[in-house]
Amino acid sequence: MRPIFVRFLVSFMLCCAALAGMSPAEGTSARPAAVEIKGPKGALGQLPLQVMDDGASYVAAERLARLLRGSWAVKGKIGTLTVAKRSAQFSRDQSRLTLQGQSLALETAPRVTAKGWLIPADFLDKGLGRLVPGVSAARPAVASARPPVTRVDSGVAFEELRYRSYPSFTRVVVEAAAGLSYLTASGRSEIRVRLSGLNVSGVHLEEIGDGLVTEARLEAAGPDGVLNIALEGPAAEVKTASLRDPFRVVVDIYRAKASAGTGGPRANNGGGPPLKLIVLDAGHGGHDPGARGPTGVQEKHVVLDVTRRAARMIEDGLGIKVVLTRSTDVFVPLRERTNFANKQRADLFVSIHANAHPRSVSEGVETYFLSSEATDNEARQIAAIENEAVRLESPQSRQKTDLLKSILWDMAQSEFQQESSVLAETVQDSMTQSLRLTNRGVKQAGFYVLGGAAMPAILIEIGFLTNPKEEKKLSSAEHREAIARAIYASLAEYKRRYDQRVRTVQTRPVRSGAAR
């Protein structure tokens, strides 16, 4: 009876597929079996469509070339379609092609099979007429058992495409106005995520280039949105999840273990390799001046000068490489600062700012590390002032009142919170002792610039520009040099303590029967 049951089950599934208006090979809505290529003088012939496992339609490159009376040539990863003196170059790893010297985005990348190259069928709509003027593709209607479905623009509104680069993985996020369902197809050179019912207008592109992911591109594909993530090499693992508050689909692409950054104090147990790289971040810059003093001294100039001086001292005195998020008077979006540090595989991230307060008598130094809960109302207000820089970013940046919601979704900092606290305490104590300034203590708050840092991260407020006495000090080169030396001394003390902890862990005897 078993063979009979199997035949019955197969027949039942085929009937269901037919009733649903789909072929068994597609698993999607019915599509035309071929397109007709037309020229100025009439039809040139028909071109069969092939629907692959990713749900996208393709056409055979060589057959298209023959219909157009052109040629198809492959060299390495590049396939070139030439007609007369015009050409289109396709890459097997990229969904972008070069057509007459200009870039053109397709729904997906070409596929290479045993029978040859397959070109995404949307090239016929987007690029065929540009390659061969006067030639077009007509898709015949397909009979269906179901009435045609008309798309109603009541889908889910698209909010934002963003990413974060971490030492061991890259995270790409699509945020929407409501929950999304998704279908992920992973390949060696590209990850494709279809987002059901997502309304997307135009093409949204994030150029990543972190050694794992080249770019992330989101665009419409019929009633859905399609996220294409181009890879620089094969990923070790891909995880996709649909989350809420805010609604978003998160795609985590993991590096192979051999290529993942080792970094410095990654764990909270005190063990780890030596400190090798620190990222110093001079706050504000460009069209974002930051705080202003009574006589017009601007925070962006003060902190840049201090940061440059501290970087020179750290490299000369500690032998640690220092990289700056900005070395000139330019504006850097807040989220890109820790993103930059993550790409650099930094061991520490130190953001340097000058303070402001409605009471001009406020003075002293304070150091912060990231937390969703502020230490007190004043800490919360300081974070809100610094977070205002997000409103100076491009019009495409989100303008949400609750900035914490936008950073806590990827708050890798929670893993490094304890070590960030240790770093903040060390820096605060050392700076106030060497500068003999008022010690305002170590505090916690939701600083946007610290969100997503994959290493211990702190923010130092080196003084109050709104205090006339401190503004006068901060405007002098001598005091800036002293602050830079204090930052250097504080990081030297942190390194001394860190190295001591590392040695202690490395020389600690292993107990018999201990878990390994």
Q: What is the pLDDT of residues 266-302, one digit of tens each?
A: 544 445 678 999 999 999 899 989 889 999 999 999 9
The least confident of 68-82, 338-352, 391-405 is 391-405
Sheet harboring 198-199: ordered strands across?
198-199, 156-165, 169-176, 248-254, 237-243
CATH 2.60.40.3500 range(s) for the chain read: 156-259
Mean pLDDT on 411-416: 53
Share of the chain above pLDDT 90, in %: 29
Q: What is the pLDDT of residues 142-167, one digit of tens each?
A: 333 334 433 444 588 998 888 877 76
Evaluate if residue 260 carries a pLDDT over 60.
Answer: no
**Which residues in 148-181 are b (16+ Cβ under 10 Å) and which e?**
eeeeeeebbebbbbbbbbbbbbbbbbbbbeeebe
Stated pTM of the model: 0.51
For 396, residues 6+ apart whose C-beta sits below 8 A from its C-beta are: none
Among 456, 439, 430, 480, CA closest to 282: 480
Evaluate if residue 396 carries a pLDDT over 70.
Answer: no
Q: What are phi and psi of 193, to 5 degrees?
A: -120, 115
The predicted pLDDT at position 278 comes to 96
For 366, residues 6+ apart whose C-beta sits below 8 A from its C-beta are: 355, 382, 428, 440, 441, 442, 443, 460, 461
477 C-beta neighbours (distance < 10 Å), count: 9
The predicted pLDDT at position 2 comes to 44
Q: What are phi and psi of 23, to 5 degrees?
A: -90, 150
The predicted pLDDT at position 34 comes to 80
Evaluate if residue 371 carries a pLDDT over 60.
Answer: no
Evaluate if residue 368 carries a pLDDT over 60.
Answer: yes
Confidence of residue 437 (pLDDT cuts 50, 70, 90): confident
The predicted pLDDT at position 252 comes to 87
Q: How far apart, in Å, are the Cα atoms of 511 and each of 86, 272, 504?
A: 73, 20, 15
Q: What is the mean pLDDT of the chain?
A: 77
Q: How far apart are CA 27 and CA 14, in angstroms?
A: 11
- 454, 348 in Cβ contact below 8 A? no
Q: Taken in order 425, 431, 433, 437, is the CA torsion positive or negative?
A: negative
Task: Write the burial class of residue 511 (CB in 10 Å: 0-12 exposed, 13-18 middle, 19+ buried).
Answer: exposed
Rg for the chain, CA atoms, rounded: 29
The predicted pLDDT at position 509 comes to 59
Confidence of residue 496 (pLDDT cuts 50, 70, 90): very high
For 514, residues 6+ apart whose C-beta sits below 8 A from its C-beta are: none
Among 75-84, 163-172, 192-201, 256-265, name the most confident range: 192-201
Question: What is the architecture of the domain spanning 156-259?
Answer: Sandwich (2.60)
Mean pLDDT on 317-338: 90
- 91, 77 in Cβ contact below 8 A? yes
Among 312, 230, 308, 319, CA closest to 276: 319
Q: How far apart are CA 233 and CA 442, in angstroms?
A: 42
Per DSSP, 288 falls in state: B
429 C-beta neighbours (distance < 10 Å), count: 16
CATH 3.30.457.10 range(s) for the chain read: 29-138
Class of domain 29-138: alpha beta
Which CATH number fits the domain 277-502, given the four candidates 3.40.630.40, 3.90.230.10, 3.10.129.10, 3.40.605.10? 3.40.630.40
The predicted pLDDT at position 31 comes to 44
Confidence of residue 447 (pLDDT cuts 50, 70, 90): low
The predicted pLDDT at position 274 comes to 84
The predicted pLDDT at position 111 comes to 84
CATH 3.40.630.40 range(s) for the chain read: 277-502
The residue that leads in pLDDT, 388 or 112, is 112
Evaluate if residue 40 carries a pLDDT over 50.
Answer: yes
- 303, 352 in Cβ contact below 8 A? yes
Q: What is the pLDDT of residues 81-130, one digit of tens each?
A: 999 888 999 887 677 788 887 777 777 788 888 788 988 888 888 888 88
Sheet harboring 116-120: ordered strands across?
50-51, 57-60, 116-120, 111-113
Confidence of residue 44 (pLDDT cuts 50, 70, 90): confident
- 136, 423 in Cβ contact below 8 A? no
Share of the chain above pLDDT 70, in %: 73
Among 92-101, 166-175, 238-247, 423-432, name the most confident range: 423-432
Which residue has tokens 């007509």? 138
Residue 14 in tokens: 């085929």
Evaluate if residue 258 carries a pLDDT over 60.
Answer: no
The least confident of 75-79, 332-336, 462-466 is 332-336
